[in-house]
Amino acid sequence: MSNGHLSERAVDGAPEPVNLTEEPIRLNGEDPALRPKQAGVQARRRRVAWLLASAVGLAGAGAFGALAWPILQQRDATVTSPAQLAGLSRDDSEPARSTADYLRNGFAANIELDQSFGTVYRDPAGERRPVLVFGGTTLLWQPERDLDSLFGLMADETGQVSGLRSLSPGPLGGVLKCGTTSGVGGEFAVCGWADHGSVVMGLFPDHPAVEAGDLFRKMRNEMQTR
């Protein structure tokens, strides 16, 4: 996160000239009668300069606030794995739990998390369409950069993630991306979301990437709270 910049402000209150004689001093044809008017103009110019400097300082503070607000809003995230989720049912069988733990441990080895999880969900419409979701909560300063790095690590394990695209993250904000990669069972969609308080990825066998993205967004809306 970039540090906020502090703007320099003009300093008012410089000492006024001191007259060394009781007689008006005339320099370069200056008319002493115009001095009060000129002094007023100079004072107004100093006030305008101070106001401009103040405006710049406030604009800098506003920019810092705009950067800080999403972090304050998103950092305290909680992610759960309910038994029923977006039309899916959690698979609590031993093989599924073993797979989920493997994914959770592998994910947590690549990014420091406060809490981590891994879960397998089943689609009642088809046994060949399980959803494997894993991730956790932590404070992320640059969510999109960290998510892109995790997609890169995924590519190292399964092969290149192609067609990676940004999709609407929904009301929770942050960033959501989906692409396609390949595994033992063929091609499958891979999606991830990240914000300043959480990062989660999902594997979607037998799902097109856009369809997986829509499902992943629905899952997130039911899994994540702040």
Structural domain boundaries of the chain? 1-73, 78-225
Residue 11 has pLDDT above 50, yes or no: no
- The structure tokens 């970039």 sit at 2
State residue 116's pLDDT score: 93
pLDDT digits (tens, 9 = 90+) for 92-112: 999 999 999 998 998 888 888
CB-based contacts of 105, cutoff 8 Å, min separation 6: 118
CB-based contacts of 140, cutoff 8 Å, min separation 6: 146, 194, 195, 196, 197, 198, 199
**E strand or H helix at 59, and its extent?**
helix 35-74
- The structure tokens 């989660």 sit at 200
- What average pLDDT score do residues 186-192 get? 90
pLDDT digits (tens, 9 = 90+) for 12-66: 554 444 333 344 434 344 555 555 555 555 555 555 455 444 444 444 445 445 5
CA nearest to 180, candidates 226, 223, 141, 212: 212
User: If 0-12 CB within 10 Å is exposed, 13-18 middle and 19+ buried, where does residue 43 land?
Assistant: exposed
Distance CA 132, CA 121 (A): 6
β-bridge partners, 107: none
Strand, coil or helix: 200: strand
- What percent of the chain has a predicted confidence (pLDDT) above 90? 46
State residue 159's pLDDT score: 67
State residue 55's pLDDT score: 47
Phi and psi (nearest 5°) for 138?
-175, 165
- What average pLDDT score do residues 132-152 get? 92
Is pTM, for the whole model, over 0.75? no
Distance CA 164, CA 177 (A): 7
How far, rounded to the nearest angstrom, does the alpha carbon of residue 97 sit from its chain's CA centroid? 31
- The structure tokens 């006024």 sit at 16
> What CATH number does the domain located at 78-225 have?
3.40.1000
Evaluate whether 196 touches 70 at the Cβ level (below 8 Å). yes
State residue 25's pLDDT score: 34
Strand, coil or helix: 208: coil
Evaluate whether 220 touches 80 at the Cβ level (below 8 Å). no
pLDDT band at 153 (very low <50, low <70, confident <90, very high): confident
State residue 170's pLDDT score: 94
State residue 66's pLDDT score: 55
CB count, 10 Å around CB of 29?
Answer: 5
Structure tokens at 200: 């989660």
Strand, coil or helix: 169: coil
